[in-house]
Amino acid sequence: MSCCGAPTIETGSGYSVVSGTAEENELLASSHKIGENLIQSDFVVPDMHCVACIRSLEKTIGKLPFVSRVRANLSLKKVSVVWHQGSGNIIGIDRAISEAGFDHSVFDLSTDSEDANANSANKLLIALAVAGFAAVNIMLLSISVWSGADLETTKLFHLISGIIAVPAVFFSGQPFFRSALAALRGRRLNMDVPISLAVLLALGMSVYESMAGGRQAYFDAAVTLLFFLLIGRYLDNLMRDKARSAVVQLSRLAVKGAMTVGEDSSLTYIELDEIVPGMIVRVMPGDRVPVDGEVIKGQSDVDRSLVSGESVPLMVKCGHFVEAGILNLTGAIDICVQRDARHSFLGEVTRMMEAAEQGRGNYTRIADRMARIYAPAVHLLAALAFVGWMLYTKGDWHVSIYVAISVLIITCPCALGLAVPVVHVIAARRLFKQGIIIRDGSGFERLEEIDYIIFDKTGTLTSGIPQVEVSARSAGLFDDNAAAIAKTLAKHSSHPFSKSIAEFIKGSTSSDVTEIREVPGAGVEGRVSGNLTRLGRRQWVAQITDDNPRNVDPNSALSFALEGGNSVMFETSEEIRKDSFETIAELKTTGIDIEILSGDGMNPVKNIADRLTVSDFYHSQTPADKIARINQLKQQGKKVLMAGDGLNDSPALAAAHVSIAPANASDIARQAADFVFTRQSLSAVPFAINIAKRSGNLVRQNFTLAILYNAIAIPFAVAGYITPLIAAIAMSASSIVVVTNSMRLNLDPGNQKKSKTGLSSGDDDSLVSVATDISNMDTNTKGHWA
């Protein structure tokens, strides 16, 4: 059963891609088209642990000639690949990941990477328990040896220690050994290679001493070393999960499937990724809405706190739009599906959250380059330390290997690899809680640098819901026929003014209007009996009229006309967004320059600028004018933040140093923006700036901590002052310190005064839900023209 008015799905719709062989179809099950001949395929890679893993995956897959883009997400253990369907196939990508030495599976919406991470955490916990048990028992035996046991007793205790240690090391060391072996098979090095080498060297040296009848064995050191390494890996895993919990919470809101209504009103359960636009889905009380759609039958109270931030239930009925993830409370409703799961509210927000971790900003590139040379440098340094100590001790290989093991362990690049991504994950989470979604992780760095802000007026500084009425001078010109034509034109635009005009005109639309199209920055036009008709900016509409100057209202920026007739003027008024006055005032106190750039006429723009005390403003700006103004500011050395919502703002959003758009912006504007804020309050702008500045500070602190750790620890290890056990503790501690420092972004500095907008460091971190209208816009949005 399908519903009337279901949108036509074209390339990029998100339908699963079907190919030929069974193997291809299985791999393509969760792939989707994102453009003409472009497909995105997602894989879960549980064994991805460090920056070296990311680089290896991206390099190996990126070498395939048909791959357009590849991004590996460390926290989500997920790899996204964009490739050309006509030039290659997904089997090649699958084999490339295997050849790189990684076990993997196809990403499934219904069983996201949280399951893989939970499984990995359980394995680490079991390995940790076994290593701990072995370490305690071997330590008890070692105490007897250290206490002066005779030679025969020492040999016996060494034998028993070896019987305990060897299987314990090979079992508990699997998280490191498997990763290292896979890396070597893929002809690459990662952080687990030196760790595995160090543990096996310690164990091998102990076995040799026991078999040779020596009094010194290091079974206790080998197993305890592994025990502390596993503690570090497990804590690191837990803290990464905590940092990415916003994405996990979103994933938990996605249902596994839904009941579809057939032609005969029968109900059939299908999986979430099988739901496509046009289907009818029934949502029972207590269930969450699976995908975005329009209610076509029934009514119910729903909890839209995820979407609106309001805890008061809202009643929905036929004609109301509902988003994926909201909770149905009281009655059964039938929904006509308008977007599949990947392109629903939850899908879009989740992708934006993931993008925050995948951005390649300057800091990330620095960390990548440094981590890239780490593995070979570590092995070289350990070899040099071994040779140096062999020469210094005149052939004492026990001491030399001991020092080399310490160097291998203590120089692990974990802290450096975590310096940037953990901060970005937590920052994205903070923004998400306040209804701000980042589309590109590098946006944090660019937002931190801004010193100039340009605001669009309509829909950005204002609520975007203007009040419209016919000007007194035009009242006699607006008959029923003209009103029907004007309403028809207004219905074909997403601009707030056009929506208000469509609501203002009570009559029906006209079927006589043809060839309707929207002109960005101008308005909407069509033809009636071959004659042109326009609705939009007054100067543009006037090009087809024969206006009497006495009928022209100079205060009106909006008009309608039939070719050769007189213009019908509209008077408009707008409501300024919540907290805009406080937001503008606080931005000014930080020294950031502000101006308004709008396509509206002089009077409405000046009115808003005066009310907000913004002295610099420009009116009647076309898209080209806005880009020219941004380029002018760039030449003056300004780092510009552009805030806009319309199709005519999209080029300016892309041209600015960094950009932000409200959720009710046009589709193109949202795609062009680096940040999307989903609440009615404009305080999202200073709040995002604050988080970006604090994120930058924490990233620099993390780099400093990682570099200081290596600068202090490596010389001591090479000099022989650090044992392998201390090295393991120090290496794990360095990673934990970096992650803990990053999580300070969740705290409010006590010496900072909180502001209403959140620009000061003391911003609100309450666990509030996301408010968004991100999916309320029609999928065929044309754009804004003022």
Claim to verify: residue 586 and residue 571 sit in the same structural domain: no
CATH of the domain at 527: 3.40.1110.10
Provide the pLDDT for residue 753: 42
Strand order in the sheet with 280-283: 267-271, 257-261, 280-283, 333-337, 293-297, 321-322
Provide the pLDDT for residue 750: 42
Claim to verify: residue 77 and residue 216 sit in the same structural domain: no
Claim to verify: residue 206 and residue 322 sit in the same structural domain: no
Identify the weakest region by mean pLDDT among 141-150, 355-364, 616-625: 355-364
CATH of the domain at 82: 3.30.70.100
Claim to verify: residue 558 and residue 473 sit in the same structural domain: yes
Confidence of residue 279 (pLDDT cuts 50, 70, 90): very high
Confidence of residue 167 (pLDDT cuts 50, 70, 90): very high
Domain boundaries, position 184: 116-248+364-423+694-753
Number of structural domains, the chain?
5
Higher pLDDT residue, 268 or 375?
A: 268
Q: Please, what is the average pLDDT of the chain?
A: 76
- Residue pLDDT, tens place only, 599-615: 777 877 888 888 888 99
Q: Is residue 347 part of a domain?
A: no
Confidence of residue 57 (pLDDT cuts 50, 70, 90): confident
Confidence of residue 475 (pLDDT cuts 50, 70, 90): low
Percentage of the chain beyond pLDDT 70 is: 75
| Separation CA 123–CA 111 (nearest Å) | 19
Catalytic residue among 334, 456, 579, 649: 456
Per-residue pLDDT for 159 more than 90?
no
Per-residue pLDDT for 59 more than 50?
yes
Alpha helices per DSSP H over 173-265: 174-185, 192-212, 219-243, 245-253
Last residue of one domain, picked from the residues 664, 693, 722: 693
Confidence of residue 130 (pLDDT cuts 50, 70, 90): very high
Q: Is residue 22 part of a domain?
A: no
| Separation CA 512–CA 525 (nearest Å) | 13
Claim to verify: residue 705 and residue 689 sit in the same structural domain: no
Provide the pLDDT for residue 238: 66
Claim to verify: residue 456 and residue 590 sit in the same structural domain: yes
Cα distances (angstroms) measured from residue 13 to each of 17, 80, 339, 347, 589: 11, 17, 8, 13, 45
Provide the pLDDT for residue 14: 40
Rg from Cα positions in the chain: 32
- Residue pLDDT, tens place only, 290-332: 999 999 999 888 877 666 445 557 788 888 888 888 888 888 9
Claim to verify: residue 192 and residue 56 sit in the same structural domain: no
Claim to verify: residue 688 and residue 733 sit in the same structural domain: no
Query: Average pLDDT in the 749-765 region?
Result: 40
Q: Is 456 a catalytic residue?
A: yes
Provide the pLDDT for residue 335: 93
CATH of the domain at 278: 2.70.150.10
Higher pLDDT residue, 231 or 262?
A: 262
**Torsional class of 304: left (φ above 0), alpha (ψ -120 to 50), beta (otherwise):** alpha
Per-residue pLDDT for 216 more than 70?
no
The tokens of 130 are what? 């076994």
| Separation CA 207–CA 142 (nearest Å) | 15
Query: Average pLDDT in the 553-575 region?
Result: 75
Provide the pLDDT for residue 594: 92
Provide the pLDDT for residue 783: 33
* pTM of the predicted protein model: 0.58
Query: Average pLDDT in the 678-691 region?
Result: 85
Q: Is residue 349 part of a domain?
A: no
CATH of the domain at 657: 3.40.50.1000
Percentage of the chain beyond pLDDT 90 is: 8
Number of helical (H) and strand (E) elements in the chain, helices listed first: 27, 27
Provide the pLDDT for residue 771: 30
Q: Is residue 244 part of a domain?
A: yes
Per-residue pLDDT for 25 more than 80?
no
Q: Is residue 759 part of a domain?
A: no
Per-residue pLDDT for 589 more than 80?
yes
Q: What is the largest CA-CA distance in the chain?
A: 117
Provide the pLDDT for residue 766: 32
Buried b (16+ CB within 10 A) or exposed e, 420-457: bbbbbbbbbbbbbbbbbbbbbbbbbbbbbebebbbbbb
Query: Average pLDDT in the 499-519 region?
Result: 81
Query: Average pLDDT in the 675-679 region?
Result: 81
| Separation CA 737–CA 415 (nearest Å) | 8
| Separation CA 227–CA 129 (nearest Å) | 8
- DSSP letter at 324 equals T
Claim to verify: residue 444 and residue 517 sit in the same structural domain: no
Claim to verify: residue 587 and residue 606 sit in the same structural domain: yes
Claim to verify: residue 590 and residue 649 sit in the same structural domain: yes
Last residue of one domain, picked from the residues 693, 719, 734: 693
Of the ranges 31-45, 108-122, 156-170, 210-224, the best mean pLDDT one: 156-170
Alpha helices per DSSP H over 244-324: 245-253, 305-308
**Residues 537, 785: contact at Cβ < 8 Å?**
yes
Q: Is residue 71 part of a domain?
A: yes
| Separation CA 773–CA 786 (nearest Å) | 20
Provide the pLDDT for residue 763: 38
Q: Is residue 298 part of a domain?
A: yes
Q: Is residue 498 part of a domain?
A: yes
Identify the weakest region by mean pLDDT among 23-32, 106-115, 369-378: 106-115
Of the ranges 146-155, 487-496, 702-711, the best mean pLDDT one: 702-711
Per-residue pLDDT for 779 more than 50?
no
Higher pLDDT residue, 527 or 347?
A: 527
Buried b (16+ CB within 10 A) or exposed e, 367-382: bbebbbebbeebbebb
Q: What angle do CA 451, 453, 459 make, to 5 degrees?
A: 160
Q: What is the number of other CB atoms lying within 10 angstroms of the CB of residue 247?
A: 27
Last residue of one domain, picked from the residues 575, 590, 612: 575
The tokens of 646 are what? 């319309």
Query: Average pLDDT in the 346-370 region?
Result: 58
| Separation CA 97–CA 599 (nearest Å) | 50
- Residue pLDDT, tens place only, 435-469: 888 776 677 888 888 999 999 887 788 876 667 77
Claim to verify: residue 393 and residue 333 sit in the same structural domain: no
Buried b (16+ CB within 10 A) or exposed e, 172-210: bbebbbebbebbeebebbbbbbbbbbbbbbbbebbbebb
Identify the weakest region by mean pLDDT among 355-364, 456-465, 569-578: 355-364
